[in-house]
Amino acid sequence: AQSVTQPDIHITVSEGASLELRCNYSYGATPYLFWYVQSPGQGLQLLLKYFSGDTLVQGIKGFEAEFKRSQSSFNLRKPSVHWSDAAEYFCAVGPYNQGGKLIFGQGTELSVKP
Amino acid sequence: EAGVAQSPRYKIIEKRQSVAFWCNPISGHATLYWYQQILGQGPKLLIQFQNNGVVDDSQLPKDRFSAERLKGVDSTLKIQPAKLEDSAVYLCASSLAGSHEQYFGPGTRLTVT
């Protein structure tokens, strides 16, 4: 079965602290992996994506993610969190060989303490 | 470049009523998606169009939901009759044909009372 698991429903970090959001996936074929961010009342914005090559990918807003095939994981990281990073973060997986349906995790809500 | 447009942004209806949502994708994007996002969950695909043809509607509750994309541009999603469990945000996304990168609209928040 195809699925994405984000184990942490809610995370709170202090401004300036580092961040890691976890994502594990189950997918029958070579996956195309994504992280999206959703601010209140807004649609989803793509942070970064991975399908091949260097397993550490850089995205917008200072985010990066590391693909680990052996662990079926694609964790999102940021060295220093800003208050504006407070939002909901979604990991998603899609088919490798063409555009198509994305399967999303349930999301992780990030709160940032001053 | 204009993004994906959706209207209305908010809608409140009573159960058993009907409702329609509209989506205008990014110009030139052949592929259009409708997702349902229930509170506390990630988005779930309802239907995918390629131009004006349906690619995937396996998770669309066809007894009450319908969608069309006439002329391969704008799309409408309709619910008739609505149930309480249809309360959700309905997201429209579009992409270039064959692209993995989907661009999302702001969504329509539906509340069924």
Q: What is the pLDDT of residues B69-107, one digit of tens each?
A: 988 899 999 999 999 999 999 999 999 988 888 999 999
Q: Which residues of A touch B104 (CB under 8 A)?
A: 36, 43-45
Does B97 lie at the interface with A, CB-CB under 8 angstroms? Answer: yes
* pLDDT tens for chain A, residues 1 to 114: 789 999 999 999 999 999 999 999 998 777 899 999 999 878 899 999 998 888 999 999 999 999 999 999 999 999 999 999 999 999 999 877 666 789 999 999 999 999
Positions of E strands within A1-102: 3-5, 10-14, 19-21, 24-26, 31-38, 44-50, 56-58, 64-68, 73-78, 87-95
> Residues for chain B: how many in total?
113
Q: Could you tell me how many CB contacts below 8 A there are between chain A and chain B?
A: 59
Q: Which two tokens stand for residue A88?
A: 């909901």
Do A104 and B100 make contact, defined as CB atoms within 8 angstroms?
no
Interface test with B, best of A5, A39, A44, A49 (most B CBs within 10 A): A44
Q: Which residues of B touch A34 (CB under 8 A)?
A: 100
Do B98 and A98 make contact, defined as CB atoms within 8 angstroms?
yes
Do B97 and A106 make contact, defined as CB atoms within 8 angstroms?
no
Return the pLDDT at A30: 79
Distance CA A49, CA B105 (A): 19
Question: B79 - beta bridge partners?
Answer: B19, B65
From residue B35, give the alpha-carbon distance in Å to each of A44, A51, A58, A108, B46.
11, 23, 27, 18, 5
Smallest CA–CA distance from B49 into chain A, residue: A100
pLDDT tens by residue, B35-52? 999 998 999 999 999 998
